[in-house]
Amino acid sequence: MGALAGRVALVTGGATGIGAAIAIALADAGADVAVTANVSGPDRVLDSIRSAGRRGTAISVDLGRMDAAGMDGLVQATEAALGPVSILVNNAGIIRRDAAVDYGEADWDDVLDLNLTSVWKLSQAAGRRMVAQGQGAIINTASLLSFQGGVRVPAYAAAKHGVAGLTRALANEWAASGVNVNAIAPGYIETANTEALLSDETRSRQILERIPAGRWGRPEDVAGTAVFLASPAAAYLHGQIIAVDGGWMAR
C-alpha cells in the first residue's frame, strides 16, 4: 500500500479482465490510473480507482489502428488528465484461432497490429519521456506462448514471442536511464480471450490437469506482479518475463 504514491499509470485494455485487475491494483498501491478501452465500458474500473482515493480517466482508442503520432497523442492525453506517465502497462490484446493452413491474412494482421506493433509504438512514445525523466516502468503482457508454440494460434504465438524479444531489447537500451522494462506471462486465466477453451470440456480438463495449482487463474492473480514490477522493489529487475501460471511452466 502506498508504494506507488504520486505515480501516474497508463494501462491499455484496462476495462476488463487482466487489465482491469492491474489498473485497480495500481490504484490501491497509490497510483493515479488512465485506462484505454475499445469495446467494453470502463465505468466499473473507474469507480474502483476512485474508491481507492485515486484519480482515474478513460480514453477510447483503437490501438491496433493507431500510428506513432496517435500513440504520442495518447500519452499526451494521459499527461493532460493526470500528469507525467511513469508506469505503462501494455496489456491490450486479442486472439484469433484457426488451423495454420486456413489462417486468414486479416486475422494475422489484426493480431500482430494490436498485440505487438502497438506495444512497440506506445512503448516508444512513453519511453522517450521516461528516459528524459530518468525513471519509469514499462510492463508488457506476454504469455505462456512467449515460450511455447500453442495450437491453432500462429499469429498470437508470433506476437507474444515478439513481445518477449521487444521487452529484452528495450531493457538493454533503457535500463541505464532508470527505466525498467519487464513482462508478465500469464498462464491460463479466466478471461474473454480464454472463453473458447473454458467452454471446451475436453480441452479445459486437459489444461487443468497440467496446472500444479489445481485451478485456472483469475485476473487478480496477475495484478500483484504488476504492482511489484512498477514499484521501487523491482528497481534492479530488467528484461524479465515472469510467468504467473500456477506452475504450468514448471510441469
Residues with catalytic function: 156
CB atoms within 10 A of CB 206: 11
Query: Measured in Å, how far apart are the chain's first and last C-alpha atoms?
Result: 33
List, in sequence order, the alpha helices (H) in the chain. Answer: 17-28, 43-51, 68-82, 105-112, 118-133, 154-174, 195-199, 201-210, 219-230
Cell of 31: 497510483
Is beta strand 56-60 parallel, antiparallel or unpaired with respect to 32-37? parallel
Cα(236)–Cα(241) distance, rounded to whole angstroms? 14
Cell of 19: 487489465
Which residue's C-alpha cell is 500500500?
1
Rounded to 5 degrees, what angle do the CA atoms 119, 124, 25 make?
55
In DSSP terms, 136 is beta-bridged to 179
Cα(177)–Cα(162) distance, rounded to whole angstroms? 23
